[in-house]
Structure 1
Amino acid sequence: MPRRRSYDQYCAAARALDVVGDRWTLLIVRELLAGPRRYTDLHADLPGVSTDMLAGRLKDMEGAELVTRRRMPPPVSAYVYELTRRGRDLLPVLRALAEWGAPALEEPRPTDAVRAHWFAIPLLRALEGEVEGVVRVTLDEGEFHLRIGGDGPPEYGDGPPSADTADAHLRTDSATCRALASGESTLAQAVRDGRVAVTGAGRLAGELRERYGPLLVE
């Protein structure tokens, strides 16, 4: 790995920042935690990053063994970037940052870009202990899905889950997601206030109906 700027401090936090402390690096990790992405997809979902900056950061992250680049099989015939195991291990770091930053969201600024899957990491914390299974979440801005509970760590992905495997489907809005993430509201409160509608035939959807009653949408 070529030498880059370093804090030159014998400290675990400083060593970590040597690798992920540059501008855009952790946001690229956020995007790739949702699954392998083409360069053009990454650029589209990172508004404000220049093509040179993104290419440079991806090259640095490959050198640090955070990401790999591979060619998709035909008929796609495109290259995608995906996280290595070490890259995926940054999810708890992103979760801690999202928890710390949630109170600062307030109302979106006129210049703020919004993507639905950016609410996935904050919602992992908000829904843990409330649900277990695959949850599809639909906002006006798009869809994402969460895998919570079970044997593995929690995960999220952009778009709906494959083969319609969701155990429950939550329809809500970005303001409610923000309230759930910051702790201003619980899932139960949001459902009872009509800010979250739950559908689906899976066990989880049934459990939510039983728990929260007839306000849920069948």
Structure 2
Amino acid sequence: MSHARRNYGQYCGLASALDVVGERWTLLIIRELLMGPRRYGELLAELPGIGTNLLAERLRSLVEMGVLTKPASRDQGYELTELGRRLREPVLLLARWGMSFLGAPGEDLEVRPHWGFLAVQAMIDPARASDLDEVYEFHVDDVVFHISVERRVPHAVEGPAAGPCAMVARTDAKTFVEIGAQRLTPFEALASGRLELSGAPDAVMRASALLGLIPATEAAPLGAAGAR
């Protein structure tokens, strides 16, 4: 049984957006679907605590609003529409903003490796991209993704890189998010054994600057083609 949709009753773009995605859990559903189609059971597993009825209601509402498409069969998953995919940048900006409020990762807090891929997209500052075309690969628990910098344009891509990498980082999901929240520097994580890095030191510095983990001035020569 559907119920009347709540709204703010304001003729304002922000209020209108919140009428659609402002309900509890909705943006976390969007977060999961930004990483690709997900079946109902997969969403339920990746959103512990949501409850089956609430998930079903949120999905139904998002489909009705044209944000998601409903799977035609059990083998297919819910997927963002073109309208839904426009939420990528706002969600990434909100995730970056939210990292300022992250405290210590308590044992009662869930963290999933694939959230690292969203985190790294939120952390990328394109203005800090090097003139050097190179690839940085990340292994977060059992999830692999990479950043490819080509002509000063960075691209975050799921899966391993096709060719050689200037830097490879290996860590666990909690450590990765702590580094992204700047509660822990990459160098502190290295010293404690929670992070492993391979690659030339200058490439590590360029990757750290690209992700906003160190000031760009510390990653010199960021734009020097002869840095190698």
* TM-score, scaled relative to structure 2: 0.69
Judge conservation of contact 1:20–1:26 (CA < 8 Å) in 2: yes
Rg: which structure is higher? 2
Which residue, 102, 105, 115 being the options, matches 1:105?
102
Alignment of 1:1-218 (within 5 A): 4-71=5-72, 78-128=75-125, 129=128, 136-140=137-141, 142-146=142-146, 157=158, 160-161=159-160, 165=162, 168=165, 169-183=168-182, 189=187, 193=191, 196-198=195-197, 209=200, 211-212=202-203
User: Aligned equivalents of 1:59 and 1:167: distance in 2?
Assistant: 44
Mapped partners of 1:66, 1:156: distance in 2:
23
Runs (5+) with no aligned partner, structure 1? 200-207, 214-218
Q: Kindly indicate whether the alpha-carbon contact (under 8 Å) linking 1:67 and 1:81 is maintained by their aligned counterparts in 2.
A: yes
CA deviation vs aligned residue, 1:192-211 (integer Å, no higher than 9, x gap): 75754346xxxxxxxx5372
- Residues 1-29 of structure 1, C-alpha deviations (whole Å, 9 max, x = no match): x9621111011110000000011110001
**Other structure's SS at 1:13 match:** helix
User: What is the CA-CA distance between 1:125 and the residue it aligns to?
Assistant: 3.8
Relative to structure 1, is the Cα distance of residues 11 and 134 closer, same or farther in structure 2, using a 3 angstrom cutoff?
A: farther
| Structure 1 outlier segments of 4+, above 6 Å | 131-134
How many residues align? The count is 194
Query: Kindly, what percent of the aligned residue pairs are identical?
Result: 35
CA distance in structure 2 between the aligned counterparts of 1:7 and 1:156, rounded to whole angstroms: 37
